[in-house]
A and B are shown apart, each in its own frame.
Chain A
Amino acid sequence: DIQMTQSPSTLSASVGDRVTITCRASQSISNWLAWYQQKPGKAPKVLIYRASSLESGVPSRFSGGGSGTEFTLTISSLQPDDFATYSCQQYNSYPWTFGQGTKVDIK
């Protein structure tokens, strides 16, 4: 199975900060990577697919990058609605696997 490892596990930041989350795959997944945002008690919401494509309706302050084994999710200017948990997911091969999540909380 492909292991997805995110860092950091928790990130404390302020409104307006630039925030970057990293996701590493245990083997190359090309660009078959998605990013999700999840709030407490809610289902995840997809933000980015194919490593860098922005899902329709997602604000442009979110961006994704990387390929192969290392990927990033960047929020250019953190907004109050962005405090949540972010997870990466590889869909290069079965079983599809997720990272453990990165919680972004208020500093």
Chain B
Amino acid sequence: VHLIQSGAEVKKPGASVTVSCKVTGYTLTEVSLHWVRQAPTKGLEWMGGLDADEGETVYAQKFQDRVTTSEDTSTDTAYMHLSSLRSEDTAVYYCALNWGVPGVFDIWGQGTTVTVSS
């Protein structure tokens, strides 16, 4: 299974961005996909994803008001939409799978750089 993400984005403050993540090798309905970001020189930050046990999407409270995830099962592509962008949202955004062990990210996309700048 592989994850292929969309290309880099440059956005102005207040705008929105959508990052896509295509699953290959398996179908989107067979995997537990999450979103993790990393700001420059900072640590990794989990944003949200599918709780496989509960069958529902969970988000970090920090992002709950601004992030929406969706899926297109016909193309096995997941989307992460982040609104009301600010400079602090400048980061590399990754999609990642809990493949072997729930809670552990063992398969990652290549990352999508989102730059927020006026």
A87 at the interface (CB under 8 A from B): yes
Interface 1/0 per residue, A76-107 and B, CB below 8 Å: 00000000000101010011111111000000
Instruction: Count residues of chain B with CB under 8 A from any CB of chain A.
Output: 22
8 Å CB contact of A34 from B58, B104, B111: B104
Bound CA span A102–B100, Å: 25
Bound CA span A48–B101, Å: 11
**Number of A-B residue pairs with CB-CB distance less than 8 Å in the complex they form:** 56
B55 to chain A, nearest CB (A): 15
Interface 1/0 per residue, B31-42 and A, CB below 8 Å: 000000000001
B103 at the interface (CB under 8 A from A): yes
Which residues on the B side are within 8 Å of A44 (C-beta)? 44, 94, 105, 108
Inter-subunit contact A49/B43 (CB<8 Å): no
Interface band, chain A: 20 to 34
B90 to chain A, nearest CB (A): 16
B6 at the interface (CB under 8 A from A): no
B106 at the interface (CB under 8 A from A): yes
8 Å CB contact of A49 from B61, B62, B101, B109: B101
Which residues on the B side are within 8 Å of A91 (C-beta)? 102-104
Q: A: which residues have CB within 8 A of B?
A: 32, 34, 36, 43-46, 49-50, 55-56, 87, 89, 91, 94-101
**Extra contacts besides A46-B105, A99-B43 (10): CB < 8 Å:** A34-B101, A44-B44, A49-B101, A50-B101, A55-B106, A87-B44, A89-B46, A89-B104, A96-B103, A100-B42
